[in-house]
Amino acid sequence: MQLFGFEITRTAAEEKELQNLQAIVPQNQDEAVTEIAPGGIYGTYLDLEASAKTEADLVTRYREMVLQPECDQAVEDIINDAIIMENNAYPVEIVLDESNLSSRVKQLIREEFNNLLAMLDFGNKGYEIFRRWYVDGRVYYQLVIDKDKPREGIKQLRYIDPRKIRKMREQKKKTDARTGNDVYPDIREFYVYNPKGSTNNQMGIKIAPDSICYVPSGLVD
The 3-state DSSP class for residue 159 equals strand
To the nearest 10 degrees (0 to 180), the angle between helices 122-136 and 103-120 is 80
Residue 26 confidence (pLDDT): 55
pLDDT of residue 47: 44
**Contact in structure between 206 and 191 (CB atoms under 8 Å):** yes
Q: Tell me: pLDDT of 105 over 90.
A: yes
Grade residue 198 by pLDDT with cuts at 50, 70 and 90: low
pLDDT of residue 46: 40
Whole-model pTM over 0.85: no
Q: How far apart are CA 48 and CA 36, in angstroms?
A: 10
Q: 141 near 162, Cβ under 8 Å?
A: no
The string of pLDDT tens digits covering residues 149-182 is 888 889 999 999 999 998 888 777 777 667 777 7
* Phi/psi of residue 160, nearest 5 degrees: -120, 130
Reported as a pLDDT band with limits 50, 70 and 90, residue 6 is: confident
| DSSP run (H or E) holding 185 | strand 182-193
Q: What is the pLDDT of residue 214?
A: 93
- Rounded Cα gap, residues 186 and 16, in angstroms: 11
Nearest-angstrom CA–CA distance, 196 and 180: 44
Distances, alpha carbon 12 to alpha carbons 15, 34, 46, 83, in Å: 5, 28, 32, 43
**Pairwise CA distance, residues 161 & 168, whole Å:** 16
pLDDT tens sequence across 51-82: 435 678 889 989 999 999 999 999 999 999 99
**C-alpha separations of 189 from 7, 46, 166 in Å:** 11, 15, 11
